[in-house]
Amino acid sequence: MTYVMADIESDGPIPGDYSMVCFGAVIVEPGLDRTFYGQLKPISDKFIPEALAVSGFSRQDCLTFPDPKPVMEQFKQWLQTNSHGRLLFISDNNGFDWQFINWYFHHFLGENPFGFSSTNLGSLYKGMKKDTFTSFKHLRETKHTHHPVDDARGNAEALLKMKDMGLKISFK
């Protein structure tokens, strides 16, 4: 089983109408050395300037990014090369991140190598602590910068610490 921590930045709230600007992924394991980063050209003319601003890119920057299909093909290949067994998608906000990754995989490649489910890191921590008002974010070491690899790495650090705290999970 391979846990893949992911994070995305977009220029709007939903895939299809809006675009995934960039995304990052980290294989969850000690060292957190295996990462992927992709930038994607917009798929529509629609964008919300405030949403795009979070990524740090301008619309003009995004128009120079690679077409989404080859980026998703590269991500799929990276996943195949860097994983063993079942892939498990996990993120800080899987309701948001998952919808974009899932949509882009299905739209551009016809399948999603993660299958049909994802895990929410915050919910996992709340369950561990038996407290729906608690947050895992103090467990991050890497600063949350809105660069998706930084953010995925910080979240993966938190998951590794959760394992050290007693979460039954295997990264082998």
Active-site choice (106, 107, 144, 146): 146
Q: What whole-number distance in Å separates Cα of residue 83 and Cα of residue 41?
A: 27
Q: Is 146 a catalytic residue?
A: yes
Q: In the chain, what are the helix, strand and coil shares in percent, each to the nearest 5?
A: 40, 20, 40
Q: What is the distance between the terminal CA atoms of the chain, rounded to a whole angstrom?
A: 7
Positions marked active-site: 146
